Chains A and B, each alone.
Chain A
Amino acid sequence: MSKKSSTRHILKDRHIENGAISKNMLYTIIFLGACALFIFLADRLFDAFSLRVFNLCAIYIVLALSLNLLNGFTGLFSLGHAGFMAVGAYVSALLTMPAPLKEMNYFLLPIVPWLQHVTIPFLPALIIAGLVSACVGFLIGAPVLRLRDDYLAIATLGFGEIIRVIITNAQSITNGAQGLKGLPRFSTTFAVWAAAGLVVLFMVLLMRSSYGRAMKAVRDDELAAEAMGINVFRVKVTSFTVSSFLAGIGGALLGHMITTIDPKMFTFTLTYNILLIVVLGGVGSISGSVISAIIVTVLMEALRFLDEPINLIFFEIPAMPGLRMVVFSILLMVMIIYRQRGLMGNKEFSWDMFQSAFVKKSKKGGSHARTP
């Protein structure tokens, strides 16, 4: 009897679900349309500074997802992301800069002849940047991924630093510590948001495929995954390579947005910023990374007022350069200690979740925020 009732229950559930799917798809389409409209309007209406922050959000979405693929979905704790970004940024910059500009940049030591006259359009350069970065990732990943946990973290951190030191010293290719100036400004609003959209789509599809499930299996229990016939090492290397590809793309976009790159930009701090986005958004959540990339990027700029003198009518707090970073670090520490799962945990955003939160809120009178 209980069996029968439970069957009926399931049927009823499915019925509701069927209804909900179409409704949710409608919501999704409306939401995506609204996003596209917003991006279009932002490109027209925002002032230069806001637009820059807005575009930076898209680049950080790409970077956060590429790190989340490793840390969140495959369970590989990697700290060498800045290195792959540097590779991507430099490859794309060297491929797109016109010859006279290169000559202007390389005043200490002339550029190697085979790079002097290479100038190709942005899109192929971006893809080549990603591919070169993926190759570097593959070469590093193959030996390093035999290590586990903190050893892996420190080894990838080491490789990130090695890449940076090599870039600093390879004067005739990368212009060393002087860096490259005047990169073509290719990272337009549409370019970066198209890249972000494609990467989000790619990640969603990847996580629904058998590759994504294999990665999650490796994350949850490596031994069990191996026992189920998953080639753990191959999954890890694949994940590392794909992540490096995305990091290279993100780095290239960043370079073409800031238009100046130098080795000092790609230190461990950059990896750390991305790691924080991933952790805050929820390790293993695509939507979490997207939301937190936007929040963190906007907050980093919004907190800028802290570095300037603060006027409190009766007295003025003098400018304290560095206060912004302190406040930011404290916020993050509090978050890490009291809410380790991050914003979304390892769940994904869904309309049902949104709806139930909203319903709960309105039942309580809508006066206070939803309780976890």
Chain B
Amino acid sequence: MTLSLLFQHIVNALSLGSLYALLAIGYTMVYGILRLINFAHGDIFMVGAYVAFYGITLLSLPWWAALLLSIIFTAFFGIGLERVAYKPLRDSPRISIMISAIGASFLLESLAVLVFGGRPKGMPVPDVLSKVIYFGSVSMITISLIIPLFTFALLILLLWIVNKTKIGMAMRAVSTDIEAARLMAVDVNKVVSVTFGIGSLLAAFGGIMWSFKYPQLNPLMGVMPGLKCFIAAVIGGIGNITGAVLGGFLLGIIEIMMVALLPTLSGYRDAFAFILLIIVLLLKPTGLLGKRQAEKV
């Protein structure tokens, strides 16, 4: 493999890893607070991409305006979803909430088939993002560079929110102990809503960037990325934002590199994430950065 090809793979791996990281953060934040695998997160990713698509095609907005519109819409959409599907079950057994999450995911998918149509749609990619640029012998599309840059900016913003602001402190409090946080006058409902809002916002951003990079939309586009990103969150240590980012990048890099170095195994690409998950779960069930928690009787 030539050096320039390797470099290209690295850029690809980084941009895929960034997309995984964006989605994995949503999983890890929700899990940290509600102990819930939000199966509908991948479908929120899909909704984000579709809203941007309609923003560009129907409302003929410039791509950045469509992006903003979609992000804001999807954030509120995520908050609404939590209110409808998860809030009534907050005190029920965890399995019920999980089943509700799976149900919400299927509802969103079948709604998307009904509203958006089952046929795949082509995302109009703006010229700025699909331009090919050359660094010596290395050629790459601008979007592959832009994705990691934006991701890093968003990550820094997110870490600042979680670690430095009041609402971030409330989030950390709720994720440590929901009851104690409530006693300390933390408005748990508000914290949960904000968490879902931020998670959905990042998922929408990821979804739009995903559809700019792989410009095809279909109602089931969120399923596989959703599952893989949950896996990324588990690998990094669920509940831990840095861990989710680490897991996302790890998964993206390993996936691209495996396909690049061992092309005969490319058919197993989708299974690979799951194999990695099972290895991690068996060797270190709490993930790379997770803390072991004692079992309460």
Give me the interface of A with B, judged by CB distance under 8 Å: 71, 77, 143-144, 146-147, 149-151, 153-155, 157-159, 161-162, 165-166, 168-169, 223, 268-269, 272, 275-276, 279, 283, 320-323, 325-326, 328-330, 332-333, 336-337, 340
Give me the interface of B with A, judged by CB distance under 8 Å: 35, 37, 85, 88-89, 92, 94-96, 98-100, 102-104, 106-107, 110-111, 113-114, 118, 223, 227, 230-231, 234, 267-268, 270-271, 273-275, 277-278, 281-282, 285, 297
Instruction: Say yes or no: B37 contacts A150, CB within 8 Å.
Output: yes
Instruction: Say yes or no: A146 contacts B282, CB within 8 Å.
Output: yes
Q: Given contacts A159-B278, A321-B113, are A336 and B270 in contact (CB under 8 A)?
A: no
Q: Which residue of chain A has its CB nearest to the CB of B105?
A: A272
Chain A residues, CB < 8 A from B285: 147, 151
Instruction: Say yes or no: B89 contacts A340, CB within 8 Å.
Output: yes
Chain B residues, CB < 8 A from A157: 227, 274
Chain B residues, CB < 8 A from A147: 281, 285
Which label, helix, strand, loop or mixed, suits the secondary structure of the B interface? helix
What are some 28 contacts across the A-B interface (CB < 8 A)? A77-B95, A143-B278, A144-B281, A146-B282, A147-B281, A150-B94, A155-B281, A158-B278, A159-B278, A165-B270, A223-B297, A268-B223, A269-B106, A325-B110, A325-B113, A326-B107, A328-B110, A329-B103, A329-B106, A329-B107, A333-B103, A333-B104, A333-B107, A336-B96, A336-B99, A336-B100, A337-B88, A337-B89
Instruction: Say yes or no: B96 contacts A153, CB within 8 Å.
Output: no
Q: Which residue of chain A has its CB nearest to the CB of B95?
A: A77
Question: Once the chains are docked, how many angstroms separate the CA of A139 from the CA of B238?
Answer: 26
Q: Which residue of chain B has its CB nearest to the CB of A338?
A: B88
Chain B residues, CB < 8 A from A332: 103
5 other A-B residue contacts (CB within 8 Å) besides A223-B297, A330-B107, A336-B99? A157-B274, A168-B267, A272-B102, A323-B114, A326-B110
Chain B residues, CB < 8 A from A276: 103
Chain B residues, CB < 8 A from A337: 85, 88-89, 100
Instruction: Say yes or no: A326 contacts B114, CB within 8 Å.
Output: yes
Chain A residues, CB < 8 A from B100: 333, 336-337
Chain B residues, CB < 8 A from A321: 113-114, 118
Question: Once the chains are docked, how many angstroms separate the CA of A340 from the CA of B92?
Answer: 9
Minimum C-beta distance from B276 to chain A (A): 9
Question: Once the chains are docked, how many angstroms separate the CA of A166 from the CA of B268?
Answer: 7
Chain A residues, CB < 8 A from B104: 333
Give the 5 A-B CB pairs with smallest separation, nearest first: A158-B274, A325-B110, A165-B271, A329-B107, A322-B114
Chain A residues, CB < 8 A from B275: 158, 162
Question: Once the chains are docked, how many angstroms separate the CA of A149 from the CA of B268?
Answer: 27
Chain A residues, CB < 8 A from B282: 143, 146
Chain A residues, CB < 8 A from B89: 336-337, 340
Partner of A279, one of B35, B99, B110, B278: B99
Chain B residues, CB < 8 A from A155: 277-278, 281
Instruction: Say yes or no: A326 contacts B118, CB within 8 Å.
Output: no
